Amino acid sequence: MTYSPAQQLAYWADALRDMAASGLRFAPTLYDAERYHALQSLALEMQAYAGNEMPAALEPLRATLFAHVTPFVVADAAIIDAAGRLLLIRRADNELWAMPGGALEVGETAAEGAVREALEESAVASEPMALAGVWDSRLCGSVTRHHLYHFVILCRPLPVPPASPASHAHETLASGWFGVEELPAALDPGHATRIPHVFRVWKGEATAYIDL
C-alpha cells in the first residue's frame, strides 16, 4: 500500500513512540531513560509535523498516548437491522460517515466496547452477534496518526431504544440507517474498506476477515 508522505511520517513516528514507551518502562539506568525520553520527544515532534501542528499542541499527550506500549486497539459496531440497513454516524472531527466505535477500555471485550461506543455516540442500543473481522489500520485505508487494530463486531439493534440520549453526542453530527446500495459517498476511508465485508458476513456470504 502506498502512503502519503504525511501518513508515512506518522507511522514512523508511531513506531518511535512505541520504542520510547517500551524503553522508558524497562530502562535499566537513568542514562537510558534520558535517551528514551529524547526519543519520545522526537516521536512527538514528528507526529505534530505530520499533522501540520506545533509540538506544543501534542505535549499534553506525552503522559498518556505517547506512554502507551504496543498498537492501539479499537472496535466498531456494525449494527444492521432486520431490513438490512447499517447504522452510520457522521463524525464531528472530519464530517465523514462511519460505523460507531472507538478505543477499547481495560476490562472489556471487543464486543462490549463496540456496543458501548455505539450507545455513547448514537444512543442506539445493540447486542453483539459475530465477529466481522480484524483489520490493520495500515492495510485498510484508515487515516490515523497511530497504528490501530480495528475489531468490527456485527450487531443487531435492540427492540427498545434507551431512554437517555447519546452521552458523546458532541462526537456525532448526524446518524442514519443505510442499505448496501444506499451508502453515503462521504465515507471515512477505512470504513469504506470494511463496510462491504460487513454486509457479506451479515448475508452469510463470508466469514470473519483477518489481516495476515
Number of alpha carbons in the 13 Å side-chain half-sphere of residue 68? 16
- The rounded Cα 200 to chain-centroid distance in angstroms is 21
pLDDT in tens, 8-50: 899 899 889 888 888 887 788 888 889 988 998 999 999 999 9
161 and 80, same domain (yes or no): yes
Band of pLDDT at residue 162, cut at 50, 70 and 90: low
Helix count (H) and strand count (E) of the chain?
A: 5, 8
Domain boundary among the residues 67, 82, 116 is at 67
Share of the chain above pLDDT 90, in %: 63
85 and 186, same domain (yes or no): yes
For position 93, which CATH number holds? 3.90.79.10
Sign of the dihedral through C-alpha 40, 2, 140, 54: positive
Residue 110's contacts (CB-CB under 8 Å, 6 or more residues apart) are: 73, 75, 104, 131, 151, 153
Identify which has the larger pLDDT, 167 or 39: 39
Residue 38's contacts (CB-CB under 8 Å, 6 or more residues apart) are: none
Lowest mean pLDDT among 30-44, 89-103, 113-127: 30-44
Cβ atoms of 76 and 198 closer than 8 Å: no
41 and 91, same domain (yes or no): no
Model confidence at 134: pLDDT above 90:
yes
Q: Average pLDDT, stretch 144-161?
A: 89
36: nearest Cα among 6, 66, 77: 66
91 and 62, same domain (yes or no): no
Residue 82 sits at the vertex; the CA angle it makes with 81 and 88, to the nearest 5 degrees, is 20
Rg over alpha carbons for the chain, rounded to the nearest Å, is 19
Model confidence at 212: pLDDT above 90:
no
* The predicted structure's pLDDT at residue 107: 82
90 and 17, same domain (yes or no): no
pLDDT in tens, 50-69: 999 999 999 988 887 788 77
20 and 116, same domain (yes or no): no
Share of the chain above pLDDT 70, in %: 95
The x, y and z cell numbers of residue 194, run together, are 470494511
Helix (H, G, I), strand (E, B) or coil at 50: helix
